[in-house]
């Protein structure tokens, strides 16, 4: 059984940071290289950075599967869309339907917040996740390159799922 619970305190932020450290190294090193992974982990997924994002309105959730830590997600309402900022499932638990359950949860949050769609950005070379998003009802809507400092960029597709 998959359970999703909101991040409430500093310990939870540390749990997310640890999960991010494991999952991002494993998943993103072949895509963007270890230096950019470490730069982005420090900038966006340290416990302090996560706390600041929560103060700025991002909602973080911990995902468990059969009572084991399985991943995390983050969302924020932006105008009439719910922005899916992050969704990460541990490698050994992918393909079991956890992402789909998480998306059903996110869809319900979008409906509760009177949103018309769910939007996200995904690295243009993150091929497996793009395929999963397409299976989950997202379509590509464009591309965006964001300068994140120190010579690094995020080279993404924008995707949207209409409710
Ligand atoms: C993207 C991700 C969150 C999906 O979670 P998941 O638990 O693996 O997804 P599910 O098992 O619920 O699969 C959802 C759908 O996508 C499909 N799918 C999953 N992985 C796929 C892959 N590699 N290729 C093609 N389809 C895939 C599944 O078959 C399923 O479709 P179906 O309902 O028609 O059967 C997960 O794979 C992940 O964490 N990836 C690595 C991190 C990442 O890149 N996150 C996104 C950052 S923007």
pLDDT tens digits, 44-85: 999 999 999 999 999 999 999 999 999 999 999 999 999 999
The pLDDT score that the predictor gives to residue 155 is: 96
> Whose alpha carbon is nearest atom 15 of ligand 1?
132
Answer whether 24 contacts ligand 1 (Cβ < 6 A): no
Q: Per the CATH hierarchy, to which homologous superfamily does domain 2-162 belong? A: Gcn5-related N-acetyltransferase (GNAT) (3.40.630.30)
- Give residue limits of the domains in the chain: 2-162
Residue in the block written with tokens 């600041």:
52
Give the model's confidence band at 21: pLDDT under 50 very low, under 70 low, under 90 confident, else very high: very high
The pLDDT score that the predictor gives to residue 84 is: 98
Give the model's confidence band at 163: pLDDT under 50 very low, under 70 low, under 90 confident, else very high: very high
Percentages (nearest 5) of helix, strand, coil residues in the chain? 45, 35, 20
The pLDDT score that the predictor gives to residue 50 is: 98
Answer whether 88 contacts ligand 1 (Cβ < 6 A): yes
**Torsion sign over Cα 43, 44, 48, 52:** positive
Atom of ligand 1 nearest to the CA of 123: 48
């Amino acid at each position: 059984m998959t359970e999703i619970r909101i991040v409430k305190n500093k310990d939870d932020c540390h749990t997310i940071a640890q999960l991010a450290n494991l999952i991002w190294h494993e998943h993103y090193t072949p895509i963007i290289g270890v230096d950019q992974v470490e730069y982005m982990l420090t900038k966006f997924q340290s416990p302090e950075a996560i706390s600041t994002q929560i103060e700025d309105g991002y909602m973080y959730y911990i995902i468990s599967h059969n009572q084991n830590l399985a991943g995390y997600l983050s969302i924020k309402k932006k105008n009439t869309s719910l922005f899916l900022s992050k969704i990460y499932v541990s490698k050994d638990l992918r393909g079991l339907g956890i992402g789909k359950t998480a998306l059903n949860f996110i869809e319900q949050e979008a409906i509760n917040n009177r949103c018309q769609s769910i939007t996200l950005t995904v690295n243009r070379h993150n091929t497996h996740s793009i395929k999963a998003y397409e299976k989950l009802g997202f379509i590509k809507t464009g591309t965006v390159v964001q300068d994140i400092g120190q010579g690094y960029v995020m080279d993404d597709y924008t995707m949207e799922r209409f409710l």
